[in-house]
Amino acid sequence: MSTLKRKMVAVSVATVWTKPESPRPMDELALKEPARIREWLESMTLQDKLDLCLENRVQTQVLYGSSVFVSEEREGWSKVLIPQQGTRKDALGYPGWVPSCQLVDEAEAPVGTKRAEVISDQVWLYKNPSEPLMELSYLTSLPVLEIMEEWVEVQTPEGIRYLKADDIRLIDGPLAPRDGEGHIGRGIVEQGKRFLDLPYLWGGMSSFGYDCSGFAYAMHKYVGILIPRDASDQAKQGTLIDKDQLEPGDLLFFAHEEGKGVIHHVGIYAGDNQMIHSPETIKCIEIVDLRTFNLAKEHCASRRYWK
């Protein structure tokens, strides 16, 4: 393998494509710098969104300020590996292609710096307290330079910027510490409920749209737990849980051929025979009753990551 270069994502949400030829003309909004993620999503019809999956165009997404490895560059595209998104596809991180214009050389964060992690659904990043620049996703994380009463000064790929203090929490590393009080699994479910009615997005890893495993990944990340990116990998780690031992926050996996085939879906057990999940392109994040859920016969395994 060629020498890896460390880069940082310089757009609100970088969509990671299967290959440079994967995007369609309509996807130009997602390829720009800045990426116009909200406009891109609003411009697509249901069929356009289905096509992202059916033609295997998109692999995943990665948030502003995240570190990636670049293993190859060609004709305005960079092949990246995303270290925080674990996968069997590559030990160094989730692979795919992003436009090179959406990456910058990694800036070294000051030693011992706290990080500001976005805990509102979406927030604005400001050039100064009166000039909004870019809309960021939930769980975007940036190094803190100074804490003020109403604002937090942060280091970004493009220099010093500002976030409203009410929109973030301060953490001491890349992950928030696990909450030692209360039921962590219930905390995962409660975070999930805030995104009820958010439309599904194939490959989605931001609060502009999640796929099923991206939703499970993000809700665990909020409570300080990093799980693999894809459902098939998520089903191989954590602690195996029997059906009669399920607790809120456990992951439920579904496979073709009534549970004997390939895993294709994951949801979060919400208690009382209910599950919260991001179902499919034609739907939004929802809570369903497992007794009447159309995939109930495909339930093949349950895993717990939260203790």
3-state secondary structure of 225: coil
How far lies 138's CA from each of 131, 134, 142, 252, in Å? 20, 13, 12, 24
pLDDT digits (tens, 9 = 90+) for 169-212: 999 988 988 766 689 999 999 999 999 999 999 999 999 999 99
In the numeric block, the tokens 């560059």 are attached to 73
Q: Alpha carbon of 294 to those of 6, 47, 273, 279, 290: distances in Å?
A: 44, 22, 14, 11, 8
3-state secondary structure 157-222: CCEEEEEEHHHEEEECCCCCCCCCCCCHHHHHHHHHHCCCCCECCCCCEECCEECHHHHHHHHHHH
- Would residue 277 show up in a list of annotated catalytic residues for this protein? yes
Homologous superfamily (CATH) for 184-304: endopeptidase domain like (from Nostoc punctiforme) (3.90.1720.10)
Q: What is the pLDDT of residue 294?
A: 95
Residue 1 has what pLDDT?
47
Tell me which of 53, 101, 264, 277 is the catalytic residue: 277
Which of 53, 101, 183, 212 is catalytic? The answer is 212
Tell how far CA 286 is from the center of its chain: 18
CB 305 within 8 A of CB 240: no
pLDDT of residue 180: 61
**Residue whose tokens read 């406009």:** 39
Low pLDDT (below 70) residues in the chain: 1-2, 109-112, 179-181
CATH superfamily membership of 5-105 = SH3 Domains (2.30.30.40)
Element (H, E) at 28: helix 28-31
Taking the CA atoms of residue 254, residue 256, residue 262 and residue 266 in that order, the dihedral angle to the nearest 10 degrees is -20
Tens-digit pLDDT profile for residues 7-26 = 999 999 999 999 999 999 99
212 is catalytic: yes
Which pLDDT value is given to residue 113? 75
Structural class in CATH, domain 115-171: mainly beta
Amino acid (1-letter code) at residue 214: G
User: What is the end-to-end Cα distance of the chain in Å, rounded?
Assistant: 37
Task: Return the pLDDT at 173.
Answer: 86
CB 156 within 8 A of CB 65: yes
* Domain ranges in the chain with CATH number 2.30.30.40: 5-105, 115-171
pLDDT of residue 161: 97
Structural tokens at position 127: 């050039």
Question: Distance between CA atoms of 49 and 283, rounded to whole angstroms?
Answer: 11
Question: How far is residue 65's CA from residue 18's CA, in Å, rounded to a whole number?
Answer: 21
Amino acid identity, position 78: S
CA dist 217 and 258 (Å) reads 24
Q: Is the CB of residue 4 less than 8 Å from the CB of residue 69?
A: yes
CA angle, corner 142, sides to 138 and 146, nearest 5? Answer: 120
What is the model's pLDDT at position 84?
A: 97
Measured distance CA(58)–CA(70) in Å, rounded: 18
Q: Measured between alpha carbons, how far is 118 from 161 in angstroms, rounded to an integer?
A: 14
Structure confidence at residue 108 (pLDDT): 73
Residue of 220, 265, 299, 300 with catalytic role: 265
